């Protein structure tokens, strides 16, 4: 399986992603030919440049109309009618679908009525389709991403001055590790956030792989603090499971109610826990108790340990490192009769529709949860043939 790791230490945008993938070896000629088939009327250039002394590729989209508003069905029709391969079309459509959902939530309107403004302009269509096409040219099967540097301060948009991260970017990165470092400006755009959130199965340290190529995609400006580039790492992994190091945080609790423990579990997941379990145990003198076990990354261990102490009655925790092995996997978005559902698919054929997507559609449509789960499974298996 070929993996692409997005190292967003200076943020991520659509053009930075395309530039980095071209820099890593995606054929510029084949990529621009596929983009030409979209019929946008734009021209595309790849500039070799430097950011803070690091050689990088800058992807440019030249066009006359930057203010044209488009709806999601129009954009999806452009993608479907293009000459891009099927997998690139699926990825590009899924990214735009995810982006449309975020914009719809921000503006409180049905997704069909969302005007994409900057997001729907020719350059962003080219960025998203270019990223999907470049991944296909590199033979990438799955993606992962680092914690995302979102920037800070404010940004001027079609809707006025907004805080960074913008509302759409923040929604797209819900549940993902983010931070702010560097100049007070927008470092991660909604387009970049949508690419990372839609395609990345994991956020954190680079996955285990044999490195094949690297690439740097340049942002618009050259910063004094750090190189304004997105780095991509392209590598191969065998069918064997991936090994990573995690931190296990434990506490034996014998003086708390199930309601308080359930609330603590919710807060721990919100704080970035990989997993939280509650196990009934017996302590000395046969006292019934609960073993709280939290699986954390090295980066979140202190935050989660503090949360255990704050949200439970325990006076101490145990922490130790363990090896965690997981199958390489990717996120695929399928469209059911109820709406889109993300499906987590492993290299060995195992797959699972995302519960939260199914739950959301069940609440919105009134359909049984099991029906939506079954529909998502059916669509995935149909498309996987």
Mean pLDDT across the chain: 90
The reply to whether 340 and 374 lie within a common domain is: yes
185: CB partners within 8 A, 6+ apart: 151, 152, 153, 155, 164
Cβ atoms of 175 and 266 within 8 Å: the answer is no
Residues 212 and 263 grouped into a single domain: no
Residues 226 and 150 in one domain: yes
Sheet containing 242-253, strands listed edge to edge, beginning at the edge strand earlier in sequence:
275-282, 288-296, 242-253, 318-326
Tell me: the pLDDT tens digits for 168-203? 999 999 989 999 999 999 999 999 999 999 999 888
CB-CB neighbours of 106 under 10 Å: 18
Rounded alpha-carbon distances, angstroms, from residue 169 to 98, 102, 163, 303, 370? 11, 8, 11, 23, 31
Residue 275 to residues 28, 121, 266, 314, Cα–Cα distance (Å)? 41, 40, 11, 19
Q: What is the pLDDT of residues 319-329, one digit of tens each?
A: 998 888 777 77
Of 187, 218, 238, the position where a domain reaches its end is 238
Query: What is the per-residue pLDDT for 66?
Result: 53
Q: Are residues 177 and 249 in the same domain?
A: no
The total of structural domains in the chain comes to: 3
Residue 85 tokens read as: 């391969």
The rounded distance, in Å, linking the Cα atoms of 321 and 313 is: 24
CATH number where 313 lies: 3.30.70.1380
Shared domain for 190 and 248, answered yes or no, is no
Q: What angle do CA 189, 353, 93 make, to 5 degrees?
A: 40
Per DSSP bridges, beta strands 351-353 and 340-346 are: antiparallel
Q: What is the mean pLDDT of each run of 10 residues along the chain (385 residues)?
A: 94 97 97 94 94 96 71 89 95 93 87 65 90 97 94 84 92 93 94 96 85 96 92 81 79 94 95 94 92 92 94 95 79 90 86 93 94 94 77
User: Is residue 165 classed as helix, strand or coil in its secondary structure?
Assistant: coil
Task: Choose the final residue of a domain: 326, 343, 368.
Answer: 326
* pLDDT reported for residue 32: 96
Q: How far is CA 49 from the centre of its chain?
A: 27
Side-chain half-sphere of 331: how many Cα atoms within 13 Å?
A: 24
> Are 126 and 62 part of one and the same domain?
yes
Q: How far is CA 356 from its chain centroid? A: 15
Q: Which domain holds residue 251?
A: 243-326
The pLDDT of residue 56: 97
Residue closest to 128 by CA, chosen among 93, 100, 163: 93
Which residues, in sequence order, are bridge partners of residue 289?
281
Alpha-carbon Rg of the chain, whole angstroms?
22
* Pair (353, 341) in one structural domain: yes
Domain boundary among 309, 326, 343: 326
**Looking at the structure, do residues 313 and 230 belong to the same domain, yes or no?**
no
126-149 pLDDT, tens digit per residue, is 999 999 999 999 999 999 999 999
Neighbours of 29 (CB within 10 A): 7
* Same-domain pairing of 205 and 105: yes
Same domain, 93 and 226: yes
Q: Are residues 318 and 263 in the same domain?
A: yes
The answer to whether 8 and 146 have CB atoms below 8 angstroms apart is yes
- Distance of alpha carbon 8 from alpha carbon 229, whole angstroms: 8
Comparing CA positions, the residue from 253, 274, 239, 373 lying closest to residue 316 is: 253
Answer for the pair 266, 332: CB distance below 8 angstroms, yes or no.
no
Supply the DSSP string of 70-131, one letter for each residue.
--HHHHHHHHHTSS--HHHHHHHHHHHHHHHHHHHHHHTS-GGG---HHHHSHHHHHHHHHH
Q: Please state, in angstroms and rounded to a whole number, the distance separating the CA atoms of residues 191 and 124.
A: 7
- Answer for the pair 211, 267: CB distance below 8 angstroms, yes or no: no
Pair 74, 195 in one domain: yes
The tokens describing 284, both together, are 């000395």
Which residues are CB-neighbours of 283 under 8 A, at least 6 positions away?
252, 254, 289
Residue 122 has a pLDDT of 83
């Amino acid at each position: 399986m070929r993996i692409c790791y997005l190292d967003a230490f200076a943020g991520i945008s659509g053009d930075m992603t395309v530039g980095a993938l071209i820099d890593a070896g995606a054929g510029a000629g084949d990529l621009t030919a596929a983009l030409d088939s979209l019929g946008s009327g734009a021209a595309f250039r790849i500039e070799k440049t430097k950011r803070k002394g690091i050689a990088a590729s800058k992807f440019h989209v030249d066009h006359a109309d930057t203010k044209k508003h488009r709806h999601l069905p129009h954009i999806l029709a452009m993608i479907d009618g293009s000459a891009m391969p099927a997998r690139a079309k699926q990825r590009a459509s899924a990214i735009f679908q995810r982006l449309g959902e975020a914009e719809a939530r921000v503006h409180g309107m049905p997704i069909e009525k969302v005007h994409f403004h900057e997001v729907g302009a020719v350059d962003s269509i080219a960025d998203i389709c270019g990223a999907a096409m470049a991944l296909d040219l590199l033979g990438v099967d799955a993606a992962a991403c680092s914690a995302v540097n979102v920037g800070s301060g404010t940004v001027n948009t079609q809707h006025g001055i907004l805080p960074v991260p913008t509302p759409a970017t923040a929604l797209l990165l819900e549940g993902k590790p983010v931070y702010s470092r560097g100049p007070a400006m927008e470092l991660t755009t909604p387009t970049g956030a949508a690419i990372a959130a839609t395609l990345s199965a994991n956020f954190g340290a680079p996955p285990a792989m044999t490195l094949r190529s690297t690439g740097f995609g340049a942002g618009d400006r050259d910063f004094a603090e750090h190189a304004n580039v997105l780095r991509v790492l392209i590598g191969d992994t065998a069918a064997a499971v991936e090994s990573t190091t995690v931190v296990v945080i434990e506490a034996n609790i014998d003086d708390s109610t199930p309601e308080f423990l359930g609330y603590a579990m919710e807060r721990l997941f919100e704080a970035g826990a990989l997993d939280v379990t509650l196990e009934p145990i017996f302590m000395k003198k046969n006292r019934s108790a609960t073993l709280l076990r939290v699986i954390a990354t090295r980066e979140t261990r202190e935050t989660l340990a503090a949360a255990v102490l704050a949200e439970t009655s325990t006076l101490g925790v145990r922490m130790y490192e363990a090896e965690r092995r997981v199958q390489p996997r990717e996120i695929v978005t399928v469209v059911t009769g109820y709406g889109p559902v993300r499906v987590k698919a492993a290299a060995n054929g195992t797959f699972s529709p995302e519960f939260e997507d199914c739950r959301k559609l069940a609440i919105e449509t009134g359909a049984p949860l099991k029906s939506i789960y079954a529909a998502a499974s059916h669509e995935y298996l149909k498309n996987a043939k």
